[in-house]
Amino acid sequence: MTGKHLLGLLVLVSTGCDDALVYQRDTLLPENGWRSKDRPEFCFEITDTLRPHDLFIDVRHTGDYAYSDLFLFLDLTGPDGHRFRDTVECTLADPSGRWYGRGTGFLFADRFKAHVLFRTGNRFPHRGRYCIRMEQAMRTDPLPGITDVGVSVVLSKAQGG
């Protein structure tokens, strides 16, 4: 197989694996800690209201993050202007302190389904632009050890997806 054919095959395979991905974006947080007034926002377009979607919260943290969980306030605003607010707990470690996330050196990556704010496998009610604003809800301000956060939206594998 020639190099050109191999490259074409790799492009086809890599794009085929992400067919379900609707949106994914991460935001780096300040090195000196995530302040509660720092509220990253993630906006994405929904064009398909018939198929269910899953919404994930992505968190990367260092190995010296001081807690086993992370509480977040999430605000979801839809194209019709309605805003929904929810509190989400992201459990990062087991009771013995072992990190759940996949590690690469000193960094760990975790992904959480936002079950409460936008239930897994539900349909977005309207076509258009949705925005999620994320705020850390821990009592430590600034909160050190969280390096970046993000949002991923994928077509659900739940029935109907």
Q: For the chain, what is the mean pLDDT?
A: 83
Distance CA 75, CA 97 (A): 30
Tens of pLDDT, residue by residue over 69-109, are 999 999 999 999 999 898 999 999 999 999 999 887 788 89
Q: Note whether 55 and 22 are within 8 A (CB).
A: no
Asked if pLDDT for residue 112 goes beyond 50, the answer is yes
- Beta-ladder partners of 153: 23, 55
Ordered by where they begin, the domains of the chain are 20-155 (2.60.120)
104 SS3 class: strand
Alpha helices in the chain (DSSP H): 3-17
* Angle at CA of residue 79, ends 74 and 84, nearest 5°: 30
Q: Note whether 34 and 136 are within 8 A (CB).
A: yes
pLDDT at position 120 = 54
Stretch (H or E) spanning 17: helix 3-17
Nearest-CA neighbor of 136 among 83, 89, 80? 89
Q: Is the pTM of this model over 0.85?
A: no
